[in-house]
Amino acid sequence: MWKIKYRGKVIEVSGCDRNEIIGKYVKNKNVLDIGCVGQLELSDDPSWLHGFICRHAKSVLGIDLSEKGVAALKDKGYNVMHGNAETFTLTKKFDVVVFGGTLQEISNQGLALDNIYNHLAGGILILTNPNAACWWKIKDMIFNIQHRLDDIAHSLHDIGTLIHILDRHNFQIEHVYYYHSTRSLLCRFFPILSDSIMIIAKKK
């Protein structure tokens, strides 16, 4: 574990097992899972995120922009609805909002974060996102390899840009985690080079 400073606040940073950490925060809570479809083809895998959340939380509502994916999850018995992270409106507020791997795909990221803020009942936001500073992206830049085309459609973030955008939209960062570090021996010693970032934040 190491620490970074942002505007006088010390933020702890460490590597982690994603689901282990998320399980601690969603246990017995009322949870909103935005971008719940995820990798639908893995929905029968115990590690699939939305299913994992449903097994640990008190109640879960999932929202996703994919109508096809939402229909498939409804057929499996999940409590999900079609909606846009920027514009969905619910009368209920939640203890925890999980925003998993979706921020980089959204046109107006600030609007989505403001919407999440309005649906949190003083609880926490769990945000996961691909790491723009992961080891293989740095390798591509060093060796002048063309960046992967699937990144063009995404607005990737590193830890600095994520902290800034969350701060601008009234979230206070509590902890930063890196995960998917087992893909490279280097990441075991330097988790900051891992594929993905997870931030635990609270409303200011």
pLDDT at 37: 93
CA triplet 152, 156, 157: central angle to 5 degrees?
Answer: 160
pLDDT tens for each residue of 50-98: 999 999 999 999 999 999 999 999 999 999 999 999 999 999 999 999 9
Q: Give the model confidence (pLDDT) of 137-183 as tens digits.
A: 777 767 765 655 455 456 778 888 999 999 999 999 999 888 875 55
Strands 30-34 and 94-100: parallel
Q: Which pLDDT belongs to residue 179?
A: 81
pLDDT band at 44 (very low <50, low <70, confident <90, very high): confident
Which pLDDT score, from 0 to 100, does residue 132 have? 79
Nearest to 102 by CA among 33, 166, 202: 33
Model pLDDT, residue 194: 78
pLDDT at 3 over 60: yes
Residue 139 CA to residue 112 CA, distance in Å, equals 32
**Average pLDDT of the segment spanning 18-36:** 95
